[in-house]
Amino acid sequence: MSALLLTLGAVLGATPAAAATGPYVALGDSYSSGEGAGNYTSSSGSCHRSPNAYPQLWASANSPSSFAFVACSGATTQDVINNQLGSLNGSTSLVTVSAGGNDAGFAGAMQTCVLQGTDACLTAVNNAKSFATNQLPARLNSLYTQIRNRAPNARVVVLGYPHLYKIGGSCSFGISDTSRNAINGAADTIDSVTSARASAYGFAFGDVRGIFTNHEICSDDWWLNSTRLAVHESYHPNAKGHSQGYLPTLFAKD
């Protein structure tokens, strides 16, 4: 597996961070913990950290001198600040983080879209977008300031969120394409805000929307879960989404 991932990094033109073998700290929410990728470590409890998640895959390929995998499903920016920053210090070489979707109430908006129809969905999504535009920047500023202060020498890569749906795809059931398009638009808003704040702090932004194109829900090759009986896994990247979507994006940003 390690040789394969190193080859992938070379193909992408990235220098696998064997060039940056110092301590690596993986922060963030469910999109970093590996919610949806399965095979969760029992010690992670409801944080649902998966060995199939991109941080663990990157660490396995690059053997950093230490690896703190503290991302947790459901985490908001304040949760990251309160509970995940203890491993950061002046020797930290790489930090990855995804955060902001939970602050904007994206999970609740998805539940509304699935259960209450198009009109309610559009209202919930617009509320999430308004929050992301008007309130999320200050929350990201607080988080990114803490990361930079605690890990002043680290390379910081902020990972974004993909579009969930292929519009006009293979799904003939579920929510309407109007709702699906609105949900994708919410991802665009959150990614735009996150990218701008990351840039302001000199952090790299890993935009995964391009690499997930044609691998969304309703495509011919899904890298994301739709509604599942394990409800907490719904609308999250599966193992392929991490290994073929998020991991190459991280390699490209190293």
**pTM, two decimal places:** 0.90
- 215 classed as catalytic: no
From the candidates 48, 163, 215, 236, which is the catalytic residue?
236
Decide if pLDDT at 115 tops 50: yes
Q: What does the pLDDT average to over 222-244?
A: 89
Query: Strand 204-206 vs strand 24-26: parallel, antiparallel, or unpaired?
Result: unpaired
Residues 93-107: tens digit of each pLDDT:
999 999 999 999 988
Mean pLDDT, residues 242-254: 94
In the set 30, 73, 179, 234, the catalytic residue is: 30
**Can you spell out the DSSP letters for 156-190?**
EEEE-----B-TT-S--SSS-HHHHHHHHHHHHHH
Task: Kindly state the average pLDDT of the residues 164-182.
Answer: 91
Identify the weakest region by mean pLDDT among 61-65, 109-113, 171-175, 178-182. Answer: 171-175
Q: Tell me what pLDDT residue 232 has.
A: 81
Check if 236 is active-site.
yes
Q: How far apart are CA 161 and CA 97, in angstroms?
A: 11
Least confident range of 76-90, 164-178, 194-208 = 164-178
Dihedral angle sign, alpha carbons of residues 75, 137, 185, 220: negative
- Tell whether the model's pLDDT for residue 242 goes beyond 50: yes
Which residue bears the tokens 């009986």? 229
Residue 222 in 3-state DSSP?
Answer: coil
- Sheet containing 67-69: order of strands: 67-69, 24-26, 94-97, 155-159, 204-206
Other Cβ atoms less than 10 A from the Cβ of 209: the count is 17
Average pLDDT over residues 115-142: 97
pLDDT at 19 over 60: no
Residue of 168 and 127 predicted with greater confidence: 127
